[in-house]
Structure 1
Amino acid sequence: MKTKFIGVAAFLVGSIMSFQSFATPETDFDAYVQGLKQEAKEKGISESTINSAFKNVQFKPKAVVADNNQPEKKLTLDEYIPRAVPKWKIQQAKRLYHEYFDDLKRIGDAYGVQPRFIVALWGVESNFGRFTGNYNVVEALSTLAFDGRREALFRKQTMAALQIIDEGHISADNMKGSWAGAMGQAQFMPTSFLHYAADGNGDGKKDIWTTKEDVFASTANYLKTEGWDDKYTWGRQIHVPAGINPELQGRDEEKGKYLQEWSKIGITSLDGSPLPVLKEDIKAWLIMPDDEIGRSYLVYNNYNVLMHWNRSYYFAIAVSTLADRIVQD
């Protein structure tokens, strides 16, 4: 009987604790937001921006769940690429490439970035502006900062989002993005917006939500700033000899070799033909994202720039694949 009573008591205590942990986040969140407001004020954000940005802001559990959710199954590149770059997306990319070519060429020439890579990033990031997220960016970022798992990161992003509003690029109500705060058709985080967003149509604003010229210019500015060189492409899929030393792969600076050095190791083009002999040899890195059993690539520095944008081998290969398919018959 005593054991049963203790069990019931423990159950009641546990229930109360569970209820408290469920019930208090909103109250604690409100207090946390007051701290964000104070920090923003100290950083020189105007009172009107602070009031509009935090008006009706609430704790968003879905953003926290998404931040903690990790895919259980890792796809291989052979599985991932057809999903990330399906035939219908290639067809749309080709159509939009030609539809907006005049603006793309003007912006590409100004920044030194091939237009096909601008379109490819546009397509992979937001399906050409169709899927940009419908979260209130300040609300999502405040929630993730409050959650605490990566507080410093998301608190910094929250302050950057407020600065963007304060500078007049977009209103608080219209600043929409993903659960993580990635914004607009380019899916820039707020700090990336402040560093790389560009005015592509000369209207004095940097609008990556609705103005395609600004999306194109911001994308091109990011790539150029991070070291893009339009004299070269991104890399190539290749064939590696059986038993190749796995220590050769990787993007560390010391692992880069010129194409003819890779040829001497036994690496060939995918169809077995020799690697091209260029007038000016180019440095490349061997990557095998799925190890020896999967696809292998020699990638150039432009690929490394794409990895600055998103530190995923799969993402960078998807963008590169789509860019290639845009100009292929």
Structure 2
Amino acid sequence: MSGVPKLPLLAKSLMAALSLVGLSLPMAMPASASPASFVADLWPDAQARGVKRTVFEASLNGFQPSPRIVDQTRKQPEFAESVGAYVGKRVTDRQVATGRKMRGEWAQTLAAVSSHYGVQPELILAIWGMETNFGSYMGGNNTIHALATLTYEGYRKDFFRNELLTALQIASDGHISPKEMVGSWAGAMGHTQFMPSSFVSYAVDWNRDGRTDIWNSIPDALASTANYLKSHGWTAGETWGYEVQLPRGFDYGRAWGLGKMPISAWQAMGITRVAGRAFPRQQDEARLYMPAGGNGPVFLLLRNFDVIKRYNNSDSYALAVGHLADRVLGSGSFVAGWPADDKGLTRPQRLELQQLLSRRGFDVGTPDGVIGPRTRQAIMSYQARNGMLADGHASGTLLTKLR
């Protein structure tokens, strides 16, 4: 569910993380045993976990690995979205309107859940909207068969075997029937997409009907999400971050190397909140986030932003969740616009960018596809020499110019 050593909540976030580096996880060859033998070999471990034989058989009799799910594991990311494109596709006027509608429909539940867990209703709604478009699409895959396919094929076998056995336990405990246990190709389930192990740790029976049902009970799903966030350190009464404005002549070279500092320290560097707004607490620790360099929105991110990332370990994801929550609450779009022509970079493209800089005499160290301090400095030197804003941002626009 969370980042390494625990995995993110969504197995899809595994692929999202890989797309950032342009790599894929290894896929072992299928076991020599037949699917029937695989199922038979699985039973002793399931039995040891208390899985009922009737549930085991109902779940796995006639199992055959799904070619479609196998194909999902082998898909290579062909491009990387810029943060602006990612957020723009997911935080739309239509999605905001749906979020507000759902806030009205589930106002009583959200108020009670928010009061109990200390997570604002709009943030819970934003995760629901991001994960399954407010329950309109929960994946459509039989979770047990999907996990069995991944285990049989040797795809992160230990991880997915444990998730498979845990899914069988969930069904055996009566929370959901095997046929109703649907989710993503990689086993993320229900309205807000919990992996089975995360379900066991964080899902709650909010409506107290004796079953924890994140598939059919929206109250259970919303409360489970809030419980997950609270369990990972959500700070009640605080937001995720602020859009800010950089001063003229801002020292990008220094800023890239800074970590978390009190907001007062960022203010001392000339950073202000957009639209003349004040920061509620100057002592809050924040980090600077410049997803488009100095030519797009810039943010100071608080600790709740990192809690959102425990749900899906991606800055783009967390920014979209936070922004969708703010829009549902009534805030407008970001004050600064995103660069229209900017594109994200895959790891091979970042490697190419480093190689092109090196050929022009800029010191990037050993090209490795990772944008570190030396590459940032090389980018700023190149930008300054070519009349560009020397912000150190590695972008598709920059790569095109270097080519």
| Short-chain TM bin | 0.7 to 0.9
Listed as ranges, the gaps of 5+ residues in structure 2 are 1-29, 332-403
Unaligned runs of 5+ in 1: 1-23
* Residues 41-50 or 199-208, more deviating: 41-50
Q: For 2:312 and 2:252, how far apart are their aligned partners in 1?
A: 28
Query: Is 2:181 aligned against 1:175?
Result: yes
Which of 289, 312, 315 is 1:313 aligned to? 315
Alpha-carbon shift at residue 321 of structure 1 (Å): 0.7
The correspondence of residues 80-159 of structure 1 with structure 2, limited to 5 A, is: 80-159=86-165
Report SS of the residue matched to 1:173.
helix
TM-score for the superposition, normalised by structure 1 = 0.85
SS at match of 1:245: helix
Deviation per CA, 1:208-250: give whole Å up to 9, x if none.
0011111111111111111111210110122345441366468
Q: Which residue of 1 aligns with 2:8?
A: none
* Secondary structure of the structure 2 residue equivalent to 1:324: helix
Q: 1:18 maps to what in 2? A: none
Structure 2 counterpart SS, 1:227: coil
Kindly, what percent of the aligned residue pairs are identical?
35
Q: Which residue of 1 aligns with 2:394?
A: none
Separation in structure 2 between the aligned mates of residue 219 and residue 192 of structure 1, nearest angstrom: 10
- Greater CA drift, 69-78 or 310-319: 69-78
- Measured after TM superposition, the shift of residue 115 of structure 1 is 0.6
For residues 133-168 of structure 1, the C-alpha deviation after alignment (integer angstroms, 9 at most, x for no partner) is: 111111101111122231111111101101111111
Partner letter of residue 300 of structure 1? L
- Provide the residue aligned with 1:303 in structure 2: 305
Q: Secondary structure at the match of 1:65?
A: helix
Question: Which residue of 224, 240, 245 corresponds with 2:253?
Answer: 245
Cα deviation for residue 292 of structure 1 reads 4.7
Whether 1:228 and 2:230 are equivalent positions in the alignment is no
Per-residue deviation, 1:280: 6.1
Letter of the structure 1 residue corresponding to residue 56 of structure 2: I
Q: Which amino acid aligns with 2:36?
A: D
AA of the residue aligned to 1:313 = D
Name 1:28's counterpart in structure 2: 34
CA contact (8 A) 2:255 2:288 kept: no
Shift of 1:203: 1.1
Deviates more, 1:99-108 or 1:288-297: 288-297
Residue 301 (structure 1) shift: 1.0
Match of 1:262 in 2: 266
Q: Give the AA of the match of 2:312.
A: N
Q: Which has the higher helix share?
A: 1
- 1:118 maps to a residue whose letter is I
CA–CA separation in structure 2 for the residues paired with 1:112 and 1:132 = 26
Is the CA contact (8 Å cut-off) linking 1:76 and 1:294 kept in structure 2? no
> Contact 2:284–2:302 at 8 Å: present in 1 too?
yes
In the TM superposition, residue 64 of structure 1 has moved relative to its aligned partner by: 1.8
User: Conserved in 2, the CA contact under 8 Å of 1:137 and 1:178?
Assistant: yes
* Partner Cα distance (1:154, 1:328) in 2: 41
Q: What SS does the aligned partner of 1:132 have?
A: coil
RMSD: 2.1
Superposition deviation, residue 277 in structure 1 = 4.4
Matched pairs, number: 300
Taking structure 2 as the reference length, what is the TM-score of the superposition? Answer: 0.70
The 1:269–1:278 alpha-carbon spacing in structure 2 relative to 1, beyond 3 Å, is closer
- Which residue among 65, 72, 76 is the counterpart of 2:71? 65
2:167 corresponding residue in structure 1: 161
Alignment of 1:194-233 (within 5 A): 194-233=200-239
